Amino acid sequence: MKEIKRSDQTRKNILSAGRLLIGKHGYSAVGLALILKESNVPKGSFYHYFPSKEAFGQALLDDYVTDYLTRVDTLSSGPGTAGEKLSAFWTAWLTQSGSEGIASHCLVVKLGAEIADLSDEMRTVLDQGVATLVDRIAELLIQGERDGSVVAVTDAQATAQMLYAKWLGAAVLSKLSRDELPLRRALAETKASLFPETGH
């Protein structure tokens, strides 16, 4: 039993080290040797956990998407109106109180274009993760219309997708300029378009 737990922990350590390195440098720029060095795992042991670097990348993205959606679901099931939850989600993209926001660690921003041309399996993981997130946003838009905290929209699904695209673009611009102004503008525009004048 202890051996199984140790094996699971080693796999988790490899994924954690890989997420930090790939989140900083990109997928292609990070070799297995560096990942294994950071996770203190012998090179020969890597293939016990992952048959290839691509399989590792797929597992890394699976974990990332699961973690991300779990946080969104926790927010969605918490107290407050749907409008307040949406406002909290968008605000979390920005740096706050000394801690980095969602945009700083977003692997869709970091890897989306790169892996789309490298691995169909990895692309699919991110694509399905984004689709699920858009569904969650659409659900909150519908709930917000019902509780009066969000203005009515003609097509919640389309609006959710366009909102996410806006924020993804703003995150890329912020990364390029090393300035959060595009994200702050996205937040102001999102609030102005979604929330009644009493606003959040």
pLDDT tops 60 at residue 3: no
Split at pLDDT 50, 70, 90, the class of 105 is confident
The DSSP secondary structure of 82-143, one letter per residue, reads: HHHHHHHHHHTTS-BTTB--HHHH-HHHHHHHHHHTT-HHHHHHHHHHHHHHHHHHHHHHHH
- Mean per-residue pLDDT, 28-51: 88
What is the per-residue pLDDT for 22?
92
C-alpha pair distances (Å), 73 with each of 13, 103, 135: 25, 18, 11
Residue carrying structure tokens 């909290």: 88
* Angstrom distance (rounded) from CA 105 to CA 38: 19
Split at pLDDT 50, 70, 90, the class of 42 is confident
What is the per-residue pLDDT for 1?
43
Split at pLDDT 50, 70, 90, the class of 104 is confident
Q: Are 59 and 119 in contact (CB under 8 A)?
A: no
Residue carrying structure tokens 């290839």: 52
Split at pLDDT 50, 70, 90, the class of 97 is low
The pTM of the full predicted model, rounded to 2 decimals, is 0.89
- Mean per-residue pLDDT, 98-120: 85
- Mean per-residue pLDDT, 111-137: 94
C-alpha pair distances (Å), 70 with each of 74, 77, 136, 141: 6, 10, 11, 19
- Mean per-residue pLDDT, 59-75: 94
Phi and psi at residue 41, in whole multiples of 5°?
-120, 130
The percentage of residues in the chain with a pLDDT greater than 90, rounded to a whole number, is: 69
